[in-house]
Amino acid sequence: MDLQLSGKHILITGGSKGIGLACAHAFLAEGARLSLVSRDAANLKRAAAALRDAHPGAAPRIATFAADTGDAAQALGALEQAECSGGPIDVLVNSAGAARRTPPDELTPQAWLEAMQAKYFACVYMMDAVVKRMAQRGSGAVVNVIGAGGKVASSIHLPGGAANAALMLVTAGLATTYAPKGVRVNAVNPGLTLTERLQEGIAADARSQGISADEALQRAQARLPLGRIAKPEEIAAAVVFLASPRASYISGAILAMDGAVTPMIV
């Protein structure tokens, strides 16, 4: 299926690794142009090299910008650079930031604050700037990658879960607000996914239960009805579809991608 994304300008926050990088690969395969934003310039350099190797001839369609989107000024600066380099943003994918998973006995006021800064504001600052520009032009799509912990509370992910829940509310609210101006806003809720962040979560879960990391991973996988942990590419496939004109009547959706582990109606 042609997703009609050829030539579109896609800005991906957190695009240097994990789900964000998987999204970059998927958009490049559809012929889109990329602006990747991440805090770490070295990670961006590695990501760009991997993308060029996997997609021969795509180098002119890849740009990178180092910025901490949890800082409003840096987020706006990265957006300005991306649009100066590649023109208006057609699609924003927010995959930046992840709150540290922490057993409840280890929580501090600073941990709660850092969780909101790492996930909520890292997405909101960029989204606020981009969605207003899209509205002025009368078109655009936003897809937020928000952990499933915002729907079901986990004792080792309370601050991060709260940030995720707040982002889901913002997603739904912005979808309603900007629909009359031609902008769609959706989100995906990945569950366990094979990324570097998974290791941190498993380690925190192991400490909380007093078991080894290997045992915690085995227990987590055993709870999955599909019997396996998701691949980043599987999450990316849904993101790219939601971002595309093929999903033109989908807005305000929060797509569960936890492998049916949470039996709830949404």
- Give 219-247 pLDDT, tens digit per residue: 877 788 888 889 999 999 999 999 999 99
Confidence of residue 10 (pLDDT cuts 50, 70, 90): very high
Q: At what angle do helices 213-222 and 196-209 cross, to 10 degrees?
A: 100
Go through the domains of the chain in sequence order and give each one's CATH number: 9-257 (3.40.50.720)
**Considering only CA atoms, which of 129, 149, 241, 252 is closest in space to residue 191?**
149
**Considering only CA atoms, which of 84, 81, 86, 78 is closest in space to residue 9?**
86
Beta-strand pair 91-94/62-66: unpaired
Cβ-contact 121, 70 below 8 angstroms? yes
29-33, 38-42, 214-218, 253-257: segment of lowest average pLDDT: 214-218
Separation between Cα atoms, residue 164 and residue 57, nearest integer Å: 37
- Give 91-125 pLDDT, tens digit per residue: 999 999 777 778 788 889 998 899 899 899 999 99
Separation between Cα atoms, residue 114 and residue 241, nearest integer Å: 32
> Would the pLDDT of 206 be above 80?
no
Evaluate if pTM is beyond 0.95.
no
Give the number of C-alpha atoms closer than 13 A to the C-alpha of residue 106, restricted to the C-beta side.
Answer: 11
